[in-house]
Structure 1
Amino acid sequence: MKNVVILFLSVFLLYSCKNEETFTGDAPNFVLNVETSQLEPVPGTYMYIRGVAQASNSLESVRIKIEDWELDKTITMKSDDIKTYDVDYKFMAPDDVDSEKNAEINVMVTDKAGLQTQYQFFASATGDSSAPEIFANKNIRLQLPEFYEVVSTGATTDFNLEFDAVDEKMLKEISVVCEDINYSKQISVHAMDYHFVDKLSLTESKQYIIGITATDNDGNKVKKELSVMLGLKDYDVMYFADVNTDEELNSDLYGIPMEAVKEGNYIFSATYYNRNANTEVRFLTDETTFTQTTFGLDEKGKLTSGSNTTDVKPVVLPKANQYYKVTLNLIDMTVTAKEVTPPADKYASTVIGLLRGATGWTADKVTWAPANKDVMTKYDENTYLMYIDLEVSAASNNLAFTFTANAWNPYFYFRSAQEPDIIVPMKEGAHANYPYSITQNTTYRFYLDTYASRSWAVPVSASNGE
């Protein structure tokens, strides 16, 4: 396709006195054919202005003028009843055309009543090499969001789609497609920018994907994909639990349920080491109770939600001594468990321990140094997973500690003191300084999983005495 580079500037109506009192029709007009015109000047080569001139009172003339190039051509109609004329004017670009300067092209259409309309274009020696851009607001270059959440208002909910497409030279076409509702609209554009507004009627609580494509005259394209969620609630945080009662949820010191990873809007996952066959797991929105919103399976094995673990069946992880990645997808309304095989543990033979801080322990605090760590026991079948039993004091209300090996390498810190279940391996960070309340000194089993980047602590009596 020819590299047509045209910038539309303005249109002027110029009135003469000739027969003005008899003029009753519309002003004459000219429509440039941007597909076949060639207005990118290359020294010594031909350029073309092609289009259609029209007048309700018949055409008198079409004048083409480029003052910078000393070009002035008037095409006079040979008949008095020509109302439509196909302009096809060829001329040669000057040998000394300035690539840094745009030449102004004026096309003036005059009708038999003496009414004249003037059009202005630019011919540019600089090619159109950049794709169009799509904005929520072109004036402040506000980016168009890729995700929208819409609350359902009835059987049908209208989503107002609005955006601006902009190109440095000229747009050719805007395309908007949403296959979920059989919506498709293509708009021919012959301007530098276009403001799109339309309503899309949504009927189901689901995700809708809207594809937007803007194309310029030189074939450059930009594509945007929008996700619109109707009637579905997203959550800032989600938890993952392998117990069945509220009492068990609150029997640990921290970490059960574990905070899931939010992979995107409406999608959460948890990497979990399944030590025992047929472990039952669920997702929930409140780390202290199942009675808010709990996600699991229904009787037919489909994703469901509820406020208890009786109606919401668990997802069962069948294999013992197996890592799983369990994913909750609220868009597809699915929950999946995929087996994961970790790489060889490069710290399999490294001695890792829990290093106690100043508060929360019944034993005397020792100097804060790796050599004084309490050594953790690694499981033979999975060296990523380890544990240690230590007594926690009822007199304190904060537990300070971290995990480390010799000479502080490797060390496993918590993402923050407020979230001690999530481990950031091999990076300096926050010690756990976890607030708690127990009525008597209790021995807890502290777990560390360096592959799943998780830590948790449960009373020894609840850990099957391992």
Structure 2
Amino acid sequence: MKTKNYFFTTFLLWTFSLSVLWFTGCNDDDGYPEVDGQNPVLTLTTSHIQSGVGRTITIEGSVSDKDGISAIRLECDDLNLDKTINLIEIYEKPLETYDLSYKFNIQRDETGEQFTIKVTVTDVGGRTVSEDLLVTLDGDFEKPLFTLSPDKNVTVLIKAETKFNLRFSVSDDRALDYVTIEIPGIDGFTSLRLEANGEKTFDFVERITLPNIEQMYNVTITAVDRMGNESVAGSIISVSEMPDFEKMYLADVATVEELNSDVFGVPMRIERTGAYQYKANYYNQQAGTKIFFLPQKSDFSPICFGLDPEDSSKLTDDPETVKPIVLEQANIYYEITFDTQNSTYSIRTYPIAEAINPIPHKYGSTSLDTWGDGGSWLQEFYFGYMTSNPREVERFSQDATNPNLFYLEEPLFLEAGTQMNFVIHNWHSDGWWNYCTWRVDNSAEPEIFGYYGKEAKYTNPAWTKPDHVGDNWAKPVVNTTGNYKLIFDAHLERAKLVPAN
């Protein structure tokens, strides 16, 4: 009797256990109930992403699972990617649906060409599903870049034979397709389509004959790459007698490439003193420097002022025959005045000692009569390149020969397409203090770095030049990736940012 009851009791316990399993189903360690026991569903937005070094990709897709999504893992050893998105940890519960959107940056020094990212979804029951995402570094996102193109406004002087040298260079990070040129209104000139054949660079020079009458022509140059990205360079050509140019520039370089390789400052803007009259002040560091004067910034043509080859006491404007003005003395300032209407010029020099600047204290000094009341405030005085606040100024080095001349010891590495944002400013340990600072005339195309917001008692009393800039930070756009050196002359209120190599 006892044996019979034992077997009956054991049978009841076994039946109860089966019932519990029947109603609860299979559980993971966390005890989440099973709904359908199916594998998760993963749908990536795309199976192939075209990208490039230094760019950010976004891994996107939709995930669903009725039992509940536990985690999503992204793996690619070659990209050093191993990321687990733990949904239970983030949301404190599993989710039935989830929109995947994960951003990942391709390192700039990456040398590979294609990679496979494995995306794996795991549900609360331990079931998984995976998909592969192909990433290739052959994407084309950038528009073609004009590294050389005519100025927005170009003057061509009426001559016995009036000609204009149309010159431009364009580049693309992948492959150029074609370039078109349109100049309506010129007899004998038809619109051109020039095939670039997938090259990364394209150069063009052609001399165009223009009618000997005062007229304006619109030039439109359009560059298109293989992905259909396009850039347009526009220019207005004015055919006329000698105009009274509002702006004039000093060029101390030898080639068109050097005129266009800077971020700003080359050629150097000079002063217009009256109708057809200009004055150029220039510090000559090396004997034998050759200079010209240009009313356009990007080319020595169509107008270039220099010495007349037939009479060196006069100027000529012909870029094909002009001779340079040669500055024979080193470590001295030159002042050149000239008249473009009468073709006359004069030159004088003055020593560094006479070249004043508005700097209020000896550079690098520590005992400052800050308020002009005979008191002192102990802090080292210097200034330099500032992109954020005066606590983070990159200090200038002062030239050993010319105390007006400053530069950054270390080159600035700048990427193409970067818009800069900086001023020249005094360093200060506590933050903002516009005690000694320079701003620019035009943020997008800085030409003058004027001493800004000065008060006479805080600066050199001999510095009487008026403020001629606003509170404008320099914000030029970099065309070509590379290392650049920044040079600033406090006497001339001019700066330039040129390739360091």
TM-score by length of 1: 0.44
Q: Higher strand proportion, which one?
A: 1
TM-score by length of 2: 0.41
